Chain A
Amino acid sequence: MNERRTETLVVTLVTFTNLFIAFFISGVVIWALGEDPWFALKTLLYGAFGYDEALGYTLYYTTNFIFTGLAFAIGFHCGLFNIGAEGQAYIGGLAVGLICLWLENWPLWLVFPLAVSASIIFGGIWGAIPGYLKGKRGSHEVVTTIMFNFIASVIMVDLLSHVLRPDGQMSPESRDFAERVWVPQMHEIFEWFGIQITQTPLNGTFFFALLCLILVWRFIWYTRWGYEIRTVGTNDTAAVYAGISVSRNIILAMALCGGLAGFVGINEIMGSSHRIMLNFQAGIGFTGIAVSLIGRNHPLGILLAALLFGILYQGGAELSFEVQAIDRHLVVLIQGLVILFAGALEHLFRPQIEQFVRIITNVEKTEQAVSPTVNN
């Protein structure tokens, strides 16, 4: 077993241990509330997978978390802690909505790329401003991105209650988009191939999310731009030495974060609600932090972690419906624990796990060493 495989094994075990602790503590909270954690787990899993519709919702949420998970990961590779995906998704979603409202007579194959671009630009700018402040002025991105979440929220309330709200409508929402520009629902896509599935909010954006995973993976590890971002993120003095501009890469990374976060709007607004709504992004941005950290900021890990949180969201909603005492904010609590154990305390059990892995690999080695003599 070579060094890389050992490392992968250690990392996987560490990740699962950390997840286990986070879930164990959540179980204790459920137990303390006087409920049965086992029953809660079963209800949650049934709620997430038990029937077609549930699975559709689970994957629908997964789509969101892929975007915000990637939005956090790119920043993390650049040494940034982007907790502003919330606001970036909000503003990016606004752009998606505006394009859909404006160009609703255009065909989808034109509107979709335009909506994607608009979301990149708006979300990107919303990320790039804190990036600029970090790169050029040294303001810590954690505080500035949080502030930009609040600012985005005020702007959206203002726009939705006064500018985009059609006359005579009470709720602060835009009007519906024309059906022409909706992203096809998953059941429609399956119908093209003659397969019948239950109708859920799950839509074509899911495939776009998978594409983003692959693009980000290639970008970070296989392009010179990704190389520059990783260099800045791991050792910024070495970056300066290499002639890599630290501030430019920070701004670029934050803009990419914002752009990716903005795609939440494609899934939520263009794919599901078909109008701009208040707080459509609520909580999705923060979940991205946990998703990325537990996925070790790697697209494959993010895919799995996004699925995990999709399950928790959908299953959690079902659970809070079934069991009155358990609120759906339990998933927020779990996020906090996951960030704590997968992020800040990631090395808590690492020494023990490393030792454990060393013992297994040694066993393997001795077996390999022994086997030839047996053959002879």
Chain B
Amino acid sequence: MWTDIIVILDATFRISVPFILAAMGGIFAERSGVIDFGLEGKMLGGAFVAATVAHWTQSAWLGLLGAIGIGIVFSMMHGYASVTKRGNQVVSCVAINIFAMGLTVVLANAWFHMGGQTPQLPKGARFLPIELPFADALSEVPIIGDIYSKLISGHSVLVYIAFLAVPFTAWVVFKSSFGLRLRATGENPLAVDTTGISVNKTRYQALILNGILGGMSGAYLSTAHLAFFVKDMSAGKGYLALAAMIVGKWRPYPAMFACLLFSILFATKDKYQHEMQIMMQGIVPAHLLNSFLEMSPYILTVVFLAGFVGKAVAPKAIGQPFSKEK
């Protein structure tokens, strides 16, 4: 039982990384008043670019840099359309997501001819698990040793970055001067403008952070979780992250817990699918159970959004382009 818990939590942490990074990115954008349904596209773009750059340069770090780059490019496209040109923010997001879907496959096929996949990355070109100091030595200590050596140690560096991104986001949003402007911009941009701060500049700054985190979430998928990019590999994770952010009421820690909830669902499914099938034998056909488990994260997202888990109050000015002219 104890080992099972450790194994499941360990898997949960691994699975939760793209959700957490994307959700933190979403918090920055939406706290500034810019809707971000485009996390999916940034994740997909980041995954493709990271895998491709890592393949060419044989460096996972350069891959990560590339992923951050494409994340920023996408968020700047979104910024240009929705902040500078005051276009419809939702349309802009959907455009970016579909654009990313097309672009990644077109480029993957043109460059690698593998049916939308990129070549498998060798060990040196991807993020590998890191053994933390004393992990081995402590592994014999009961409970704490297990937790430290099996649960906390042995992840890739991006896992640690993701979990550090949460306190980082919390500090920036609530404790920094930039955060004060950020939150004010999302609540009442007109008021912010009258204090002499540029609303658009604040929103662009938020979008840069959003692009960095969104791109990183993709890099994790293709250079740490798996070792290649495959067509449509984000599979709705960007939207799940968005739902987690909404359930977390645009606050970093609650959003992180919502991400972990999604991840535990995935982890349990992977681990216990077989056991559950045996348990439910004769009651529910195996394929039905599988299908149900398969769709459970999507159903959970819908339940989250339907506000059955507390009422979400979005930043007041979300989705409204800022315009002074009447």
Contacts and interface: CB of A to CB of B under 8 A. Distances in A.
Contacts of A339: 91, 94-95, 98-99
Given A325-B110, A344-B87, A345-B92, 14 more contacts: A139-B305, A139-B306, A142-B93, A150-B236, A293-B91, A327-B106, A327-B109, A327-B110, A335-B98, A339-B91, A343-B91, A343-B92, A344-B89, A347-B85
Contacts of B236: 146-147, 150
A298 B257 CA distance: 44
Given A139-B305, A336-B96, A162 B298 contact: no
Nearest to B291: A158
A161 to B, nearest CB: 7
A83 interface: yes
A344 B82 CA distance: 7
A330 interface: yes
Interface in B260-288: 285, 287-288
Given A83-B94, A335-B102, A347-B87, A144 B302 contact: yes
Given A81-B90, A336-B95, A143 B102 contact: no
Interface size class of A (residues with CB under 8 A): 35 or more
Contact of B305 (A29, A83, A140, A337): A140
Q: Is the interface of B mostly helix, strand, loop or mixed?
A: helix
Interface in A103-150: 133, 137-140, 142-144, 146-148, 150
Interface of B: 37, 77, 80-82, 85-103, 105-107, 109-110, 113, 116, 235-236, 239, 242-243, 285, 287-288, 290-291, 294-295, 298-299, 301-302, 305-308
Contacts, number: 152
A332 B101 contact: yes
Interface in A143-174: 143-144, 146-148, 150-151, 154-155, 157-158, 161-162
B95 A334 contact: no
Contact of B106 (A151, A290, A326): A326
A329 interface: yes
Given A326-B110, A344-B91, A143 B105 contact: no
A33 interface: yes
Contacts of B96: 336, 340
Interface of A: 29, 33, 81, 83, 133, 137-140, 142-144, 146-148, 150-151, 154-155, 157-158, 161-162, 286, 289-290, 293, 324-327, 329-337, 339-340, 343-348
Query: Closest 6 interchain pairs by CB?
Result: A336-B99, A333-B102, A332-B102, A344-B92, A340-B95, A343-B91
B287 A162 contact: yes
12 contacts: A33-B106, A137-B305, A142-B37, A143-B239, A150-B295, A162-B285, A333-B99, A336-B95, A340-B77, A343-B91, A344-B85, A344-B92
